[in-house]
Amino acid sequence: MYKIFGKIGAFLYCAALVAASVFFTIRDADNNLIDEVVIEAGTEIRLEDFFKECPGDARFITDISSIDTDVPAVYKLKVFYDEAFEKDVTLRIEDHTPPKGMALPQEFYCNWKMPEAADCIGYLYDLSGIAKIEYRDGVPHFSKGGVFDVAVVVTDVYGNSSEIMVPFTMIDDHTAPLIKGIHNFDIVDDVGKLDFFAGITVTDDYDDEPVLRVDDSDIDYTKNGDYFITYEAVDKAGNVRRLKARVRISVTVEDEEIGEGGYRYIDAEKNPGDPYSLASGIMSGLWRGSDVETARAIFDWVHSNIYYMNVRGSQNYESAAYMGFSRRCGDCYVFYCCSKMLLDCAGIPNMMVRRYPVYTNGHYWNLVKLNGEWYHCDATKFRNHPGVYFMCTDEQINDGNHQFNGWLYPMRAGGSKEYKPSDTPTPTQTNTPTPTPVPTVTNTPTPSATQTPVPTAKATATPTSTPTSTPSSTPTSTPTPTAAPTSTSTPVPTSTDTPTPTPTDVAEPTATETSTPTPTPEAEEEQDKDKE
């Protein structure tokens, strides 16, 4: 009996030893496993990170090949180890790296509105997305010229921030441009040959291309007599200089050539002068490094140097171009003709586009071939759009002024041959001063909506709200993320305010100077007649 109980006791003892061994093996295996691992976004998923001492037979049962470690998220994974164990573990991919970007140097006049902070940073990169870009110390204000470093802070959706110093070159300009060559005019021949800009030059201490305009609204070209025109030069800082010159008209005009109401026009039947020589002289200062840059310079020049005026009577191509170049005024047909003649001088293919259908007013603009594709370009001034329509697709330019029949023209960039007017045009803005100058905007990546960063949020991979799903135990299972981070983008910059012109009057020989400090008149709204 003693022997029997002795054997049973020995068996139970051995069983207890085995059970204890298994228990401690399981306990040791659990203690060796790290059930939650955090890695930095963009780094590699390593099996050994889930163990204090990685077993030789350890492997992922879950297929991790589909996990994008560049995207912060949370994943449930299953691992196998020590020949018998399958355990669930959690992988957290988090972003603790601040955004990267490059400072875009700024050059502004002291009286201009400062740019949005987002306009000062380019080449942005972040793993989780940019939440906001802002000036560290608020929008800067400068009371004097010089070069200053301005701190801009870029923050991503996880609250990681980087500070970038942006150099600001500020110009404190209070001197109006100089106008030289002003003289009186005695017209004893055809008024159509009048060129108010012949021999006139304008220079500025900072602005290489100040705008020069002529106001001849006081002249009645149908009646002989003495009149005065006003020359107005405006620089980018908004400084204005105005000078007057006398115009004496002594021309015999037949009654049938005058027209009703004493309107101003150029008679197409008379020799308008040589618009081609005028265009060649203007074009000499508009050449740039590429066709796109040259075309932009052409449309900016026409937009900035010709003011809108309704024209009655018949004009042909040459007379309209001559009116624009010599008188710097005219309707949409004049804007089109001047643009076309300069484009022809530059050797850039272009053609006319006409508004269609025409209910009351006709309209003309240019179709220009750039980078191998046709784009809409229009230098005409519109009250509701102060800039230049440049390199626009069908969708971008089809507003109320630019409806057209696409079947009549070659295929446009980003467009079709169909007639599809749009209510939401998105034309490009001009980079040169208009009647009231605006600063040149530095090109930066286009931002969109602003979102406040949430640095404490835990990002996961899909929008599933309940992280309870577990991958299967087979080696072909895929990771199951439990939630996804919210994508964000950078703020939308607001438009730049136009600086208030500061009039300055300086006497000029042979001319009468005005002292009225009125700002440059706003461009007239497009109201040209139906030229169909």
The reported pLDDT for the residue numbered 363 is 92
Is residue 520 domain-resident? no
CA distance 438 to 300: 13
The first and second tokens of residue 265, run together, are 């026009």
pLDDT band of 138, cuts 50, 70, 90: very high
Question: Does one domain contain both 79 and 123?
Answer: no
DSSP H stretches of helix in 379-422:
394-397
Question: Does one domain contain both 381 and 477?
Answer: no
Mean local confidence (pLDDT), 18-42: 72
Residue 329 has pLDDT above 80, yes or no: yes
Q: In what order do the strands lie in the sheet with 373-378?
A: 350-354, 364-370, 373-378, 389-392
The reported pLDDT for the residue numbered 362 is 86
Is the CB of residue 315 less than 8 Å from the CB of residue 331?
no
Phi then psi for 149, rounded to 5 degrees? -95, 125
* pLDDT 10s digits, 277-318: 899 989 998 999 999 999 999 999 999 888 888 886 778 899
Mean local confidence (pLDDT), 400-427: 65
Q: Which amino acid is at 177?
A: P
Residues 6+ apart with CB under 8 A from 49: 34, 37, 39
Q: Which amino acid is at 204?
A: D
Average pLDDT, the chain: 75
Question: Does one domain contain both 159 and 255?
Answer: no
More confident residue, 487 or 141: 141
Question: Does one domain contain both 244 and 312?
Answer: yes
Q: Give the dihedral of Cα atoms 121, 127, 130, 136; nearest 10 deg.
A: -60
Is the CB of residue 370 less than 8 Å from the CB of residue 392?
no
The reported pLDDT for the residue numbered 92 is 93
The reported pLDDT for the residue numbered 441 is 37
CA distance 199 to 373: 38
More confident residue, 511 or 333: 333
The reported pLDDT for the residue numbered 213 is 85
Question: Does one domain contain both 10 and 44?
Answer: no
For residue 514, count other CB atoms closer than 10 A to its CB.
18
CA distance 359 to 353: 16
More confident residue, 202 or 435: 202
Among the listed residues 200, 199, 183, the one whose alpha carbon sits nearest the alpha carbon of residue 245: 183
Whole-prediction pTM = 0.49
CA distance 386 to 304: 10
The reported pLDDT for the residue numbered 105 is 96
Beta strands in 136-276, from DSSP E residues, in sequence order: 146-156, 161-171, 178-180, 185-187, 201-203, 211-215, 225-234, 239-249
The reported pLDDT for the residue numbered 479 is 60
* pLDDT 10s digits, 51-75: 999 999 999 999 999 899 888 899 9
CA distance 12 to 522: 104
According to DSSP, residue 290 is labeled S
Mean local confidence (pLDDT), 78-106: 92
Is residue 75 domain-resident? yes
Question: Does one domain contain both 192 and 162?
Answer: no
Q: At which residue do the structure tokens 């309870």 appear?
A: 468
Q: Are strands 85-94 and 59-60 parallel, antiparallel or unpaired?
A: unpaired
Q: Which domain holds residue 152?
A: 100-171
Question: Does one domain contain both 164 and 57?
Answer: no
Quote the radius of gyration of the chain (alpha carbons, Å). Answer: 37
Burial environment of residue 175 by CB neighbours within 10 A (0 to 12, 13 to 18, 19 or more)? middle
Residue 22 has pLDDT above 60, yes or no: no
Split into its structural domains, the chain has a count of 4
Question: Does one domain contain both 139 and 214?
Answer: no
Question: Does one domain contain both 233 and 210?
Answer: yes
CA distance 321 to 274: 9
Mean local confidence (pLDDT), 193-206: 86
Q: Angle CA(496)–CA(498)–CA(500) in degrees, nearest 5?
A: 145
Question: Does one domain contain both 389 and 283?
Answer: yes
Cα atoms in the Cβ-side hemisphere of radius 13 Å centred on 50: 25
Q: At which residue do the structure tokens 């992922």 appear?
A: 60
Is residue 521 domain-resident? no
Question: Does one domain contain both 110 and 201?
Answer: no
For residue 98, count other CB atoms closer than 10 A to its CB.
17
Question: Does one domain contain both 256 and 319?
Answer: yes
The helix (run of H) or strand (run of E) holding residue 346 is helix 332-346
